[in-house]
Amino acid sequence: MTALLHVDNISKRFGGFIALDGVELEVQPGERLGLIGPNGSGKSTLVNCICGTLQNETGNVRFDGHVMDGLAAHQRTHRGVARSFQLPRPFHSMTLADNLRIPLLYTVHARTGPLRSAGDLNSRCDELLDMVGLLKKAKQMPRDLTQVEMRKLELARAMAAEPKLLIADESMAGLSHSEIDDILALLVRLNERGITIILIEHIMRAVMSFSQRLAVLVSGKKIADGKPEDMVRDPEVVRAYLGQ
């Protein structure tokens, strides 16, 4: 099977600081990959390089058989990569429904041509809000939401772009036990629909129950990649991230 995402030897520097140093990563279609590593290990930089927010200096990123280097973030979204942000970044001046309307208008339209009528758009927004349990608040503003609802909105907005690959960047940080289960269940449901998911997370309980495979980044290098249960026993991973 050919990989959906193929990250080939990419590096990124910020001045003298090497954020990513020859990272290789393959993600198969339909896979649930967990990406872990200590703070500052380059997880978010890797996501930014995959999504086009940053451009990698060496190596390349291939997605769905196409090289994506040099493409802007919105072009990569059009190709089928969606992400949620570590700190939720909703559009503050719009209602929840309108927040979801943006990817529908700009990504789904761009991909399939302007086929959707206004009614279609509204029902699609409602469907997405219903999926994350926010339908009742469709007309409210993001400032009226709680932390967990904000994370759900963030995921719903990423899903609205109808992606092939969803990258969830720490979408559970700061949430309670039951809220984490909530988000996890949501992510599993999305995966069952055929969406490949990369989960970046510090909460090991969530990562372990979700991931089929784990990749570990430390100081901009991938030090291990394999089955979750093997990874947590890997001496190098234990030393660098989990602690003795």
Partner 1 sequence: MSTARFSLIAIAIGGLVMAFAHWFQVDYLFFASYTILQFIVLATAWNILGGYCGYVNFGSAAFFALGAYSSVALIKFDAEIDSWFSEGIAGFLHHIFPLPIPVLILFGALVSGIVGFGMGYLTLRLRGAFFAIATLAMAVVLQTLIVNWDFVGGSRGAYIIRPESLEFAGFQINYIEYLFALMLLLAVIALATARTIERSQLGFGFATIRDDELAAEACGVPTLRLKLIATTLSGAFMGMAGAPFPYYIGYLQPQSAFGLEYAVNSIAMPMIGGTTSWVGPLVGAILLGSAQQYATVTISSAVNLLIVGLMLVAFVIIAPNGLIGLVQEWMRARRRS
Site residues for partner 1 per CB under 8 A: 51-53, 72-75, 77-78, 82-83, 85, 89-94, 98, 101-103, 105-107, 109-110, 157-158, 160-161
- For residue 137, the minimal CB distance to partner 1 (Å) is 16
CB of 237 to partner 1, least distance (A): 30
Q: How far is the CB of 175 from partner 1 (least distance, A)?
A: 20
Closer to partner 1 by CB, 69 or 98: give it: 98
Q: Which amino acid is at 182?
A: D
For residues 81 and 216, which CB has a smaller minimum distance to partner 1 in the complex? 81
CA atoms within 13 A on the CB side of 205: 11
Give the whole-angstrom CA distance, residue 12 versus residue 106: 29
Q: State how far the alpha carbon of 197 is from the alpha carbons of 11, 14, 118, 143, 229, in Å.
A: 22, 27, 30, 28, 19
Nearer to partner 1, 105 or 242 (CB): 105
Which of helix, strand or coil describes residue 7? strand
Q: Show contacts of 173-181: CB within 8 Å, 24+ apart.
A: 173/86, 173/201, 173/202, 173/203, 174/147, 175/147, 175/148, 175/151, 176/148, 179/147, 179/148, 180/205, 180/206
- For the chain, what's the residue count? 244
For residue 63, the cross-strand partners are: 5, 66
On whether the CB atoms of residues 200 and 170 are closer than 8 A, the answer is: yes
**Whole-number minimum distance, CB 110 to partner 1, in Å?**
7
Nearer of residues 77 and 196 to partner 1, judged by Cβ: 77
Query: Cα–Cα distances in Å, from 213 out to 17, 228, 229?
Result: 29, 6, 9
Least Å distance between CB 111 and partner 1?
Answer: 9
Query: Mapping DSSP to helix (H, G, I), strand (E, B) and coil, where does residue 145 land?
Result: coil
Residue at token pair 């007309």: 139
Judged by beta carbon, residue 73 or residue 135, the one nearer partner 1 is: 73
CB closer to partner 1 out of 12 and 83: 83
Report the nearest approach of partner 1 to the CB of residue 106 (Å): 4
